């Protein structure tokens, strides 16, 4: 579904991503992990079009995304959620989702008629139910709790029916109960089918529990990839983390 081939990106003289090749099979739930500074967020930025690679290919269902703008890539089917939720603080949950949808329908610049468009109602309600936000539909985004903000952030990525969903640290800043809840939600989403999910996470326990495949980055290079069991005992991976205790909470 999403194939990365020989991806390279440098800033100044620093190789943020070096000759990276990863294959994300359709319908899988994968994780990308690595110590801080390994280039994970840069990786997501490259896939979603926030940055352009120096060389290499990013193939979504065989089609190369390199060179396309952010909004074009979104229309092709890559959705992205962010480490720090990027929300429309003055819009309510429902308004945010319906505004996002009208863009997918190509009606973002429609100047007649009232917002919200009827055509955006059903999908918005569907996604709100999927993520448990339906009771907060009329809450202004800026007033949501941190956990709900992350949910809305994910909802915004989901609402456009992406083929690939990129989740950047979905449980960042959450307490233990919230984390479990969030990860359950992610798993539920995945089980409903039709979605290839890639997540970046620091919380190893969650990653090992949930991810089918784990890819480890270090200094912009792919260090190892495999199942949770394989990664857990991989010597290079342990070395990369330099004997640091497995992180349970993310600061």
Partner 1 sequence: MNHLRDWQKDSLWALLALLLLLALPLTSPSRVVVDFIIRLCAMGLLATSLNMLVGYGGMVSFGHAMFFGSGAYVFALMLQKASVSVPVALLTAMLACALLAAVIGAICVRLKGIYFSFLTLAFQMLLHSIIITWTSMTGGDQGLTGGIPRPVFWGIDLSQTQHMYVFCCVLAVGGLLAMRLLMQSPFGYTLRMLRDNEDRAAYLGVHVWRVRLYAFVLAGVFAGLGGVVMSLFVSGAFPDFSYWTMSGEAVFMIMMGGIHVFIGPLVGAGLLQIFNDTVTRFTPYHGLALGVVILLFTLGFQRGVTDVFRLFRKSSAAAGKESL
Which of 29, 100, 164, 197 lies at the binding interface for partner 1 (CB under 8 A)? 100
Question: Applying CB under 8 A, does 62 fall inside the site for partner 1?
Answer: no
Out of 6, 64, 110, 188, name the contact with partner 1 by CB under 8 A.
110
Given the rule CB under 8 A, which of 30-38, 156-164, 194-202, 217-225 is the region that contacts partner 1? Answer: 156-164
For partner 1 (CB under 8 A), the number of binding residues is 35
CA nearest neighbour of 189 among 29, 61, 82, 73: 29
Between CA 84 and CA 149 the distance in angstroms is 9
Q: What span, in angstroms and rounded, lies between the C-alpha atoms of 99 and 156? A: 10
Nearer to partner 1, 101 or 210 (CB): 101
Task: Name which position in 42, 48, 130, 196 contacts partner 1 (CB under 8 A).
Answer: 48
Q: Which is nearer to partner 1, 31 or 99 (CB)?
A: 99
Q: Assess 241 for contact with partner 1 (CB under 8 A).
A: no
Q: Which residues bind partner 1 (CB under 8 A)?
A: 48, 50, 70-71, 74-75, 80, 82, 86-91, 95-96, 99-100, 102-104, 107-117, 156-157, 160
């Amino acid at each position: 579904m999403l194939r990365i081939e020989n991806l390279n990106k440098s800033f100044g003289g620093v190789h943020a991503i070096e000759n990276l090749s990863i294959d994300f099979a359709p319908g899988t739930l994968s994780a990308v992990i690595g110590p801080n500074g390994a280039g994970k967020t840069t990786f997501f930025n490259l896939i979603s079009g926030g940055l352009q690679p120096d060389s290499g290919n990013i193939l979504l269902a065989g089609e190369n995304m390199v060179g396309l703008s952010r909004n074009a890539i979104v229309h092709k089917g890559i959705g992205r959620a962010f480490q720090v939720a990027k929300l429309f603080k003055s819009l309510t949950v429902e308004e945010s989702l319906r505004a996002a949808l009208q863009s997918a329908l190509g009606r973002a610049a429609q100047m007649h008629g009232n917002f919200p468009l009827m055509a955006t109602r059903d999908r918005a309600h569907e996604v709100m139910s999927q993520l448990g936000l339906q009771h907060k539909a009329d809450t202004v985004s800026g007033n949501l709790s941190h956990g709900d903000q992350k949910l809305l952030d994910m909802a915004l990525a989901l609402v456009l029916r992406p083929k690939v969903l990129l989740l950047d640290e979905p449980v960042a800043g959450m307490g233990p109960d919230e984390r479990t809840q969030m990860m359950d939600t992610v798993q539920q989403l995945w089980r409903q089918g039709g979605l290839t999910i890639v997540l970046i996470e620091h919380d190893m326990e969650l990653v090992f529990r949930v991810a089918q495949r784990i890819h480890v980055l270090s200094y912009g290079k792919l260090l190892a990839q495999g199942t949770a069991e394989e990664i857990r005992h991989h010597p290079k991976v342990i070395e990369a983390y330099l004997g640091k205790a497995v992180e349970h909470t993310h600061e």
